[in-house]
Amino acid sequence: MLALLAAATAPENLSTFSPASPAAEWTRELFVLVAAITGGILLLVEGILFYALIRCRRRTGPADAEPPQVYGSKPIEIAWTLAPLIVVFVLVLLVGRVLWEVRPDPVAASAGVQPLHVTVIGHQWWWEYRYDSYDGRDLGGIVTANELHIPVSPPNGVQRPVYLNLQSADVCHSFWIPRLGGKTDLLPGRANTMWLQANEPGLYLGQCAEYCGTQHANMLLRVVVESPEDFEKYLAAEAKPAADPTDKVALANKEAFRSQSCVNCHTVRDKQDTRANGTFGPDLTHLMARKTIAAGMIPNTPENLKKWVFSPESVKPGCLMAGFDLGEKDMKAVIDYLTTLK
Ligand code: CUA
């Protein structure tokens, strides 16, 4: 009942009742069907209970009389053994059918359409995306965080599935975009797979669905579904290295960032300067292409960025980024540099 209530009152963008992909449509149908069957059983059982309570609420006959002794009824015994068996069997068939339809390796993509392959790595508490291949092209090297872009799969029969390879860098997480599909866990030392296919362009929100520590609730998911043309533009922009600063101030800002310990955990792909090559934190090469920071928590504005970089504990207590005070001048230089990473 609680699950029903939660699902019915979820914001439109997180509701399993407005599916935007075949897998989510299957899930919704199963949800409604199972809720109807089990709801019917609940009403029947409670109905009989209330009938008995009302019908037998008063003792008939003398107070010390023995009630009628019943020694069971074969037909009733058989009925209440068989009925649950049949119900459970029907539920197993229904679930089995949906599990088959959403299995990790469904029908291949339409002829001439090559799928997108992305490796998703769960971290405490953010998402890493590594674009592996698309349309038969190797995309190795495109790494981003927290905002996954995928091409739309128009409902005109063209199948353009997105295959996800799910891994974890630390503890168990779970990838869940309610409108695009069911939950799949990301487990340490194991790769799980799932696929997505979105019918409509737009922003789809999600949430880590496996408790993974203090900031589990703020490990938010954002999937941007766009036209194949826009997706190509996105890939082309993400594949580029960071733009080279042109003037003296911009160069000094870049130096201010690269001489800090930030570079031990973050990568900024740069042809000339490879100091920023850490892989423990999100890749920052195109940081400003992302609408949010701290895994979907706050809008990516220069003010928020400053707060996030220099006092992360005030934004996301427990997060693994260390805040430090550089002094106003250097903090401004670092933020000015970061905001050039478009
Ligand atoms: Cu990651 Cu919960």
**What is the distance in A from the centroid of ligand 1 to the CA of 42?**
34
Q: What value does the mean pLDDT of the chain take? A: 88
Instruction: State the pLDDT confidence band at 65, using cuts at 50, 70 and 90.
Output: confident
The stretch 224-238 carries a mean pLDDT of 93
The radius of gyration of the chain's CA atoms, rounded to the nearest angstrom, is 27
Tell me the C-alpha to C-alpha distance, in Å, between residue 291 and each of 100, 179, 301, 302: 36, 20, 8, 12
User: Is the backbone peptide bond immediately before 26 cis, with ω within 30 degrees of 0?
Assistant: no
**What is the distance in A from the centroid of ligand 1 to the CA of 139?**
27
Residues 6+ away with beta carbon under 8 Å from 72: none
139 vs 135: CA distance, rounded Å: 10
Q: What is the strand order of the sheet 147-151 is part of?
A: 147-151, 220-226, 202-207
147 vs 107: CA distance, rounded Å: 27
- Residue type at position 123: H
Residues 6+ away with beta carbon under 8 Å from 90: 37
Neighbouring CB atoms inside 10 A of 191's CB total: 12
pLDDT value for 195: 87
Taking the CA of residue 219 as reference, the ligand 1 atom at the shortest distance is: 1
**What is the distance in A from the centroid of ligand 1 to the CA of 293?**
16
Tell me, what DSSP letter sits at residue 54? Answer: H
Tell me, what DSSP letter sits at residue 248? Answer: H
Residues with CB under 6 A from ligand 1: 122, 125, 173, 208, 210-212, 216, 219
- The reply to whether the predicted model has a pTM over 0.95 is no
State what percent of residues in the chain have pLDDT above 70.
92
pLDDT value for 140: 81
Taking the CA of residue 124 as reference, the ligand 1 atom at the shortest distance is: 1
CB 168 within 8 A of CB 187: yes
> Domain map of the chain by residue range?
1-55+73-239, 248-338
Q: Domain 248-338 carries which CATH code?
A: 2.60.40.420
**What is the distance in A from the centroid of ligand 1 to the CA of 126?**
8
Taking the CA of residue 216 as reference, the ligand 1 atom at the shortest distance is: 2
pLDDT at 260 over 90: no
Question: Got the DSSP string for 126-177?
Answer: EEEEEEEEETTEEEEEEEEESEEEEE---SSS----EEEEEEESSS-EEE--
Weakest mean pLDDT among 86-95, 149-158, 240-249, 260-269: 149-158
The stretch 207-235 carries a mean pLDDT of 94
| Nearest-10 crossing angle of helices 22-55, 74-101 | 160
The stretch 319-329 carries a mean pLDDT of 85
1 CB-contact burial (10 Å; exposed 0-12 / middle 13-18 / buried 19+)? exposed
pLDDT value for 10: 59
Q: How many residues does the chain have?
A: 342
Domain 1-55+73-239 has CATH 1.10.3130.10: no
- Residue 178 has which token pair? 């309610």
**What is the distance in A from the centroid of ligand 1 to the CA of 218?**
8
Tell me, what DSSP letter sits at residue 58? Answer: S
Higher pLDDT, 157 or 230: 230
Instruction: State the pLDDT confidence band at 2, using cuts at 50, 70 and 90.
Output: low
Q: Which residue in 161, 163, 125, 136 sits closest to 320, CA to CA?
A: 125
Instruction: State the pLDDT confidence band at 11, using cuts at 50, 70 and 90.
Output: low
Residue nearest to atom 1 of ligand 1 (CA): 173
pLDDT value for 221: 94
**What is the distance in A from the centroid of ligand 1 to the CA of 171?**
8
The stretch 174-184 carries a mean pLDDT of 92
Please check whether the two domains, 1-55+73-239 and 248-338, share a CATH topology: yes
